[in-house]
Chains A and B, each alone.
Chain A
Amino acid sequence: MRRKKRNSPELPPEGLSRRDFLKGASMAVSTGLLAAPQAGAAAPEPSPGVLGPGAVPITLQINGKAHSLKVEPRVTLLDALRNQLDLTGAKKVCDRGVCGACTVILDGRPVYACNVLAIEAEGHRLETIEGLATTGEIHPVTAAFVEHDAQQCGFCTPGFVVACKAFLDKHPDPTREDVERGLGGNLCRCGTYAGIREAVLDAAKTLKGGRANG
């Protein structure tokens, strides 16, 4: 196995279990509702514990701010971030949990946002690439990517930076082998891995210094 895959999180959002959701979805299919959603129309009155198939209101905690939006239950977290909240740092590439370009941090763990439904993310703490520079200062991981030219076209880069940040939060003192394992869930097409390897090791030093001083 060359790559470590991250599983999508087992999410028990408040008031809704995965099982309830699946039950709701299958009910919707059996009545044919899912195939013909009413765009823009108010969601049908849901049964208790069942969401959809129309758009439902949710609130997402992203980078410390609450965002209220309405999404169909089938909408992924990635599409909700990009299409509704204009948070486009997480990129849509493989759209099936392989490449890591959409990596966001959910309750401290890196996840593929294309593998999480927006409604599943409710009640969880989300961090995106946009949240890494909230003070206006460039994040040490981002700075290390720039310094080591760990990017070319840059399309995989925000996902890599976020994955790297989450990785270093858990592994503050990684070896090169740790980096290769820990970031094996992100792919780059231009071939920037050599720079990324250096950037991660460098960022680890900077962050450790920061912690020691702070």
Chain B
Amino acid sequence: MDKCKYDWPAAGERSLIGKRIKRIDGPAKASGQAKYTYDINRPGLLFGKIYRSPYAHAKITALDTSEAEKLPGVKTVQVILGVGKETNWVGDEIVALAAESEEIAEDALGKIKVQFEELPYLVLEENLEQAGDHAKSAGGKTAGDPAKAFSDPDVVISEGYYGIQTITHCCLEAHGNVAEWTGEKLLTYSSTQNVPGLPSQIGQSLREQGVNVPDKNIETICNYVGGGFGSKFGPDEWGIHVAQLAKAAGKPVKLMLDRNMEMEAAGARPSSYAQIKVAAKKDGTLVAWDSHSWGTGGPTGTGMPPLPYVLEIPNSSTQHTSISTNTGPARAWRAPDHPQAAVLTMGALEDLAAKLNMDPIEFLSKNADLAAGGRGKVYREEFQIAAELADWQKNWHPRGDKTTSHIKRGMGVSMHTWGGRGHNSMCNVTIHPDGSVEVTIGSQDLGTGTRTVIAIVAAETFGLPVEAITVNIGDSKYPPDNASGGSTTVGGVSASTRRGSVDALSQLFALVAPSLGVPTDQLVAVGGHIQAKGDDSKKLTWKEACAKLQVKSIQAMGKNPDASKCKLGDSGVGGVQIADVSVDTETGLVKINKMVAVQDCGLIIDLKTAESQCLGAMIMGISYALFEQKIMDQITGRMLNNNMEFYKLAGIGDIGELVVHMMTGPGYDERGTIGLGEPPVISPGAAISNAVANAIGVRVPTIPLTPDKVLAALEKGRAERRSALGRAPLAPTEGGVA
């Protein structure tokens, strides 16, 4: 392949790329100096709050805000949903107001009088039969001839029920904004993962509401964001109304969601449940799949996860039912639909492997060539490494820990896939005469390490240390990048930064070449010098070289994609994970002993933050596999755990030993950069669920694997065994002993 001027440096020439490098904004964040949206204080700042619907579905029949308006300190009150309008979930926004203090704003909410006419609602979806007309067929697909494949007498069939709950994003920094008008210009400090896309969305909504502000007059700033995970792409209703409140009050307004609203209305990963039938030949070759899945993503229902997941089983039939519920609307959650697909598919496949008396790693490896894109070989390699790191050969056992202890140990495995191609990105690289370097991109860093990646790529290109690069991101007035979603940011910003830096360096080379007496194409930037390739007798320090700029800086705009044929990134990654758990069959508690993640993502820019992504994903996965659930109550229509006390997140003592192995080197590096935010968070639920089944010998059908469900599955297993032996079921009082 032809060498292209933008190509990533060859392995032997990299001084920074692929090394473990500390994130450059680490000290600012860990010392409390980093200012998040929530931390913005402005002169004369008012505090906004929102009056929200207490009903899952209701019509507003009367609304009186006059008492709230009269309250001293209240500056403006605005109706979002007026009389005659319907609210569609608990937490739906009805009135926004701003006051001089948070406390007064809270008092004012208590003065708002709203009358509702309650309407029928549904907030639960697991029981499909009770969904009534909230359930709508959402299609499906058929490939091959499943009926014939299932009727082959030589296949082994496993049937089961599997499910994954709705969880809430629970960003630690709640959604919200500070809005400030200066004349006709609007500045918003926004907790967002979409800095470049917010102004036009805000502008459009404001114009629809009669505020005539052109997009060019709107600027969004977000230097730090306290978590997004897919839930912070748009301005949301509150993001529009905070601008309205600020305009009406003539003062800046901060409106951050209260925690209960954050939990109810600003985060939801759709649920997914399915009846699944899957068949393989006796040698383990997968031949047929049949599934009927359903789930909810709130008022608009939800589509089908990609079933069967990863492995394209030749004869397959799927159908999906979308259930609309009166719950807070779904938002993208890391790797949308993939964790659901993994729990459903990998659970069904593990059960089939158990029925075939096969080691699930052997079973999945055997079928790995069913993965799209010819990635079977990579998966087999990853399975092998993961098995070694998890001590699989020694510790795995066929289904059901047969030791006498009430603590049962088990291991489970899962595999996943994701795209992750870099998004469109523009980047301004500036070299100043004093040698300082700035890279400016209208992107954002969600904690994934975007800033650090940009700095590493520029520093590598210029032969400078990471600290020599100033990275400017988080402002919509900077060259446009894209929203950070779908693991597209690192691919986008690393490519635009590389191109911009190479072009800026070419300009510098052209300037210094005459004084060194070396043709520009023979110059390199290494170790803080510009020098002749292979001859360091002809060199200038970086500062000396830049001084030749005199008073005019060099600027270059890097783009992704661009017209060059250089391949700086790719799409399509895989990964496998293994969980090793212990289950207390007396209490139903599941404990993580160890988890192993093996992941490929092309060329890794910063190994340290890449490993952090995987570790964090595993921990988030442990959290949703064991603890988290948006618990809805059909009687009141409310979320029962709309706080962080009863919405359980994993704590530091819940994670066990975590091992990450990144696939790097030949076969991976030459693919260029591919995103990593989503893939490692896909498998934990499935791997842990499979490990629990392996430990206790029965499937706990749905996650989270809470003690009540573990005990119920054990009890069901005992009843089935007794029934198979022709014995009467145990009386409830006898049921507690295994």
Contacts and interface: CB of A to CB of B under 8 A. Distances in A.
Q: Do A and B come from one complex?
A: yes
Interface of A: 2-3, 35-41, 72, 74-75, 79, 82-83, 86, 88-96, 98-99, 101, 128-130, 132-133, 138-139, 142-143, 145-147, 149-158, 161, 179-181, 183-184, 186-197
Nearest to B228: A153
B145 to A, nearest CB: 44
Given A93-B644, A142-B27, A189-B172, A155 B226 contact: yes
5 contacts: A39-B73, A94-B645, A153-B227, A155-B173, A189-B170
Contacts of B665: none
B103 A40 contact: no
B85 interface: no
Contacts of A92: 38, 256
A146 B644 contact: no
Given A94-B643, A190-B447, A154 B224 contact: yes
A128 B652 contact: no
A2 B653 contact: yes
A138 B100 CA distance: 36
Nearest to B35: A88
State the majority secondary structure of interface residues on A.
Answer: loop
Contacts of B623: 191
A146 B171 CA distance: 21
A91 B429 CA distance: 34
Interface string B167-182: 0001111100000000
A154 B644 contact: no
Contact of B616 (A75, A133, A190): A190
B618 interface: yes
A26 B34 CA distance: 40
A207 to B, nearest CB: 16
Contact of B36 (A86, A98, A139, A155): A155
Contacts of A89: 31-33
B101 interface: yes
B619 A193 contact: yes
B27 A194 contact: no
Contacts of A180: 651-653
Contacts of B645: 94, 96, 98
B258 interface: yes
Contacts of A79: 102
Contacts of A188: 172, 619, 649, 652
Interface stretch (B272-280, B304-312, B607-615): B607-615
B41 A39 contact: no
Given A155-B227, A195-B612, A88 B39 contact: yes
Interface string B626-659: 0000000000000000011100111111110010
State the majority secondary structure of interface residues on B.
Answer: loop
A146 B26 contact: yes
Contacts, number: 204
B644 A152 contact: no
Contact of B612 (A2, A88, A152): A152
A83 B27 CA distance: 23
Interface string B228-257: 110000000000000000000000000010
B331 to A, nearest CB: 15
B725 interface: no
B681 to A, nearest CB: 9
B31 A138 contact: yes
Given A98-B645, A145-B30, A191-B619, 7 more contacts: A133-B31, A152-B447, A153-B171, A154-B30, A184-B652, A193-B652, A194-B658
A189 B171 contact: yes
B651 A192 contact: no
Interface in B2-42: 22-23, 25-27, 29-36, 38-39, 41
A188 B227 CA distance: 10
B104 interface: yes
Contacts of A194: 615, 619, 655, 658
A146 B652 contact: no
A82 B39 contact: yes
B35 A153 contact: no
Contacts of A146: 22-23, 26-27, 30
Contact of B31 (A99, A142, A156): A142
Interface string B445-456: 011100000000
A35 B102 contact: no
Interface string B158-191: 0000000000001111100000000000000000
Interface in B386-433: none
A183 B35 CA distance: 24
Contact of B644 (A86, A99, A142): A99
A195 B615 CA distance: 9
A96 B644 contact: yes
Nearest to B33: A89
Interface of B: 22-23, 25-27, 29-36, 38-39, 41, 71-73, 99-104, 107, 110, 170-174, 224-229, 256, 258-259, 446-448, 608-609, 611-612, 615-620, 623, 643-645, 648-655, 658
A39 B102 contact: no
Given A39-B100, A40-B73, A94-B643, A154 B652 contact: no
A93 B259 contact: yes
A181 B364 CA distance: 38
User: Which of B29, B39, B446, B447 is most buried by chain A, counting CB atoms within 10 A of its CB?
Assistant: B29
A47 to B, nearest CB: 22
Contact of B225 (A36, A88, A150, A153): A153
A192 B31 contact: no
A189 B649 contact: yes
B652 A95 contact: no
Contact of B615 (A3, A72, A191): A191
Contacts of B104: 37, 39
Contacts of A138: 27, 31
Contacts of B225: 153
User: Which of B615, B616, B655 is most buried by chain A, counting CB atoms within 10 A of its CB?
Assistant: B616
A8 to B, nearest CB: 14
A193 B612 CA distance: 10
Contacts of B229: 189
Contact of B30 (A2, A94, A142, A184): A142
Contacts of B38: 88, 91-92
Nearest to A93: B172
Contact of B258 (A41, A95, A130): A95
Contact of B226 (A153, A186, A187): A153
Contact of B41 (A88, A151, A184): A88
A94 B102 contact: no
A191 B617 contact: yes
Contacts of B615: 191-192, 194-195
A36 B29 contact: no
Contacts of A82: 39, 41
B619 A35 contact: no
A76 to B, nearest CB: 10
A128 B32 contact: yes
A2 B592 CA distance: 13
